[in-house]
Amino acid sequence: MAEKKNLCAQLDIDLHRKITEAKEQAGLTTAEYLTNLLLEYYEMKENGGNQTMAANNTRTLAFQIPKELYQRIKAHLERETARTGKKLTQREFVLGLIEGALNMAEQTDVDESGVGPCEAPETSGGPQHPDSATEGSMESCGAGEGIPASEEK
């Protein structure tokens, strides 16, 4: 195990709140979250300011939407945050919608073919093996099927 040393700093309360929310959403300890954040920063700095996406196995999905729809989404996020007491981010909201729609489409495929996504042969971009479910992804097949992990109660 690598030798470790403590690092303390006084932070603005708003920045502390952001860090706390982000680390909780990531399911990491403060030490793990700050270590990852600092490693990403120095990696980005070494790459001339460009962040590499391959390291965390994510891809960016970007598109423009009408201003009215954007305002509706913002209002919904504020209402949900007030209702639940937990901040709902745009990312969580959109991922939940995408996962729900994909799950419904996969269930429709099951109904039509008689073969579920867990039994179907894996293809690129297709269903994942149940053991590969990660936080923020769909729960593995069986109990809880159809509910994005971020929406389970």
Q: What is the mean pLDDT of residues 105-128?
A: 62
Residues 80 and 122 in one domain: yes
Question: What pTM did the predictor assign?
Answer: 0.41
Give dist(CA 103, CA 153) in Å, integer.
18
Pair (52, 73) in one structural domain: no
Domain that holds residue 43: 13-56
Considering the domain boundaries, does residue 87 fall inside one? Answer: yes
pLDDT at position 143: 39
For residue 34 the two structure tokens come to 């700050």
Are residues 77 and 143 located together in one domain of the fold? yes
Same domain, 29 and 77: no
**Looking at the 3D structure of the chain, how many domains does it have?**
2
Provide mean pLDDT across the span 129-138: 39
129 and 122 Cβ atoms separated by less than 8 Å: yes
Q: Do the domain assignments include residue 62?
A: no
In a domain, 79, yes or no: yes
